[in-house]
């Protein structure tokens, strides 16, 4: 039987590839990378940074005289840690001075957090290390957001 040249060699044969450029392209570019890991990492970062600050909120709300501590809704204050700089105002029942202090702190914290969210979508002029830079900016922004809550507590419980 004669070979027509259109037969495909079995996959385990030593025959040359039908796409001679494929090996060259793979060696220059490398294998395709999986997408979607950044989003999962962003969620993990936010939830890794949150518990220590929630514990600090819990500890701060336990501090003070017995009468003050008894009048506080400690589970609400601890859960309100997610609100960042507004947790101090929440802890004091939105008293005017505490709310003003929280807004003053938020003026600094909100743009940083929103800037970090926007930074996740900005194309960077390089690829190597871009994901690490994005995740670092993301982590720092959440850290500043929650640290704003601690500053808010300093005013609320002073």
Range among 15-19, 27-31, 96-100 with highest mean pLDDT value: 96-100
Residue 11 has pLDDT above 60, yes or no: no
Closest CA to 33 of 118, 126, 133, 131: 131
What long-range pairs does 72-79 form, CB within 8 A, spacing at least 24?
Answer: 78/54, 79/54
Closest CA to 109 of 141, 77, 131: 141
Can you tell me the distance from the alpha carbon of 145 to that of 132, in angstroms, rounded to the nearest whole number?
20
Confidence of residue 15 (pLDDT cuts 50, 70, 90): low
44-55 residue pLDDT tens: 888 899 999 999
103-149 residue pLDDT tens: 999 999 999 999 999 998 888 888 888 888 999 999 999 999 999 99
Token pair 């600090």 in the structure block, residue: 56
Residue 94 has pLDDT above 90, yes or no: no
Tell me the C-alpha to C-alpha distance, in Å, between residue 56 and each of 51, 59, 89, 151, 153: 9, 5, 16, 11, 10
Domain boundaries in the chain? Answer: 37-156
For 132, counting Cβ atoms within 10 Å of its Cβ (0-12 exposed, 13-18 middle, 19+ buried), the class is: exposed
| Residue with more model confidence, 150 or 25 | 150
């Amino acid at each position: 039987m004669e070979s027509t040249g259109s037969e495909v060699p079995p996959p385990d044969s030593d025959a040359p590839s039908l796409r001679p450029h494929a090996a060259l392209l793979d060696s220059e570019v490398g294998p395709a990378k999986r997408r979607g890991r950044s989003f999962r990492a962003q969620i993990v970062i936010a939830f890794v940074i949150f518990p220590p600050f929630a514990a600090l909120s819990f500890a701060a709300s336990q501090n003070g005289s017995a009468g003050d501590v008894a009048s506080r809704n400690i589970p609400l204050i601890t859960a309100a840690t997610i609100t960042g700089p507004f947790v101090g105002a929440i802890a004091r029942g939105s008293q005017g001075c505490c709310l003003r202090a929280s807004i003053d702190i938020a003026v600094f914290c909100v743009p940083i957090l929103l800037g970090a969210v926007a930074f996740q979508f900005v194309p960077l002029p390089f690829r190597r290390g871009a994901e690490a830079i994005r995740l670092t900016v993301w982590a720092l922004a959440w850290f500043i957001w929650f640290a704003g809550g601690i500053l808010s507590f300093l005013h609320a419980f002073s």
